């Protein structure tokens, strides 16, 4: 959790234990009360802190809920599973599992809805959730490039655009699947999404992806040999 005391506001140093308790209490209140009934007073009571403690840290409910949800997504990791396809599948399954949790589902949907009329809240979502989780794309891409599974981009601007696109495709697909369509992002679905993403990355390498006619399409072989067969939708 990366929120900070506003500039110019003096006081005692922040307590990490209090922050943890407050964010956990916020998520519990979301599940028990829902967005509309959640108040900072209820969160303070659950966390065992004074209401003024919350206001020293967060300006209001919107910011508090964003940080409470962001902390859940900070649990995401990208373990090295040996191939780009396996790495993608692993992190997407983690992401889907977090979105299946009632506190993540209700919190994320609520703040996204509120952000349609609150530009400051939309920016907080972008910086606290989206930009922080792009670390997974950057880490996964660097690992795949080191393995020779992906070519390097032509400069920093192209690298940034590619990272943005990968994140948008994965996050958008999983959020739509789990929260909008209310369907499971199970292993079969995740394999299919991974295959689609890998073919797109192959094309982004500067050569057309292999169309399946036996020719060398350039770029990345999705999963590479046996990995590609394992990653294919069933």
pLDDT in tens, 214-225: 334 334 444 444
On whether the CB atoms of residues 102 and 199 are closer than 8 A, the answer is no
Does the structure show a pLDDT above 60 at 184? yes
DSSP character for 209? P
Mean pLDDT rounded to a whole number for the chain: 82
- The listed CATH number (3.40.50.450, 3.40.50.720, 3.30.160.20, 1.10.357.10) that belongs to domain 61-203: 1.10.357.10
**Average pLDDT estimate for 111-131:** 92
Handedness of CA 46, 102, 136, 118 (dihedral sign): negative
The more confident residue out of 95 and 13 is 95
C-alpha span between 189 and 93 (Å, rounded): 10
CA distances from 60 to 41, 52, 67, 109, 170 (A): 11, 11, 11, 17, 30
Q: What is the pLDDT of residue 36?
A: 86
DSSP character for 210? P
What ranges do the domains of the chain cover?
Answer: 61-203
Cα Rg of the chain (Å, integer): 20
The more confident residue out of 16 and 71 is 71
Q: What is the pLDDT of residue 127?
A: 94
Q: Locate tokens 């209490």: which residue?
A: 25
The structure tokens listed for 60 are 């209001």
Encode pLDDT of 187-233 as tens digits. Answer: 999 999 999 998 877 655 444 334 333 334 334 444 444 444 444 44
Q: What is the pLDDT of residue 232?
A: 42
C-alpha span between 230 and 189 (Å, rounded): 13
C-alpha span between 159 and 164 (Å, rounded): 9
Q: What is the pLDDT of residue 227?
A: 44
Tell me how far the alpha carbon of residue 184 is from its chain's centroid. 17
Closest CA to 198 of 79, 92, 55: 92
**Average pLDDT estimate for 127-146:** 93
At residue 3, φ and ψ (nearest 5 deg) are -70, 160
Closest CA to 159 of 147, 151, 148: 151
Residues 28-37: b if buried by 16+ CB within 10 A, e if exposed? bbbeeeebee
């Amino acid at each position: 959790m990366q929120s900070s005391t506003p500039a110019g506001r003096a006081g005692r140093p922040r307590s990490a234990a209090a922050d943890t308790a407050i964010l956990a209490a916020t998520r519990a209140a979301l599940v028990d009360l829902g967005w509309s009934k959640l108040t900072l007073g209820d969160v303070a009571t659950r966390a065992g802190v004074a209401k003024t403690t919350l206001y020293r840290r967060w300006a209001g409910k919107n910011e508090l809920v964003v940080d409470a949800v962001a902390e859940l997504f900070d649990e995401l990791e990208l373990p090295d599973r040996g191939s780009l396809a396996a790495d993608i599948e692993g992190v997407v399954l983690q992401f889907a599992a977090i979105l299946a949790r009632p506190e993540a589902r209700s919190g994320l949907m609520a703040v996204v809805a509120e952000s349609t009329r609150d530009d400051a809240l939309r920016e907080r979502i972008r910086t606290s959730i989206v930009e922080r989780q792009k670390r997974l794309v950057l880490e996964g891409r660097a690992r795949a490039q080191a393995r020779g599974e992906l070519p390097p981009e032509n400069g920093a601007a192209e690298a940034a655009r590619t990272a943005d696109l990968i994140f948008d495709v994965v996050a958008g697909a999983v959020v739509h699947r789990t929260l909008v369509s209310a369907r499971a992002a199970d292993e079969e679905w995740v394999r299919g999404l991974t295959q689609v993403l890998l073919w797109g990355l192959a094309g982004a390498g500067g050569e057309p992806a292999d169309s399946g006619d036996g020719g060398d399409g350039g770029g990345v072989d999705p999963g590479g040999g046996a990995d590609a067969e394992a990653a294919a939708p069933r």
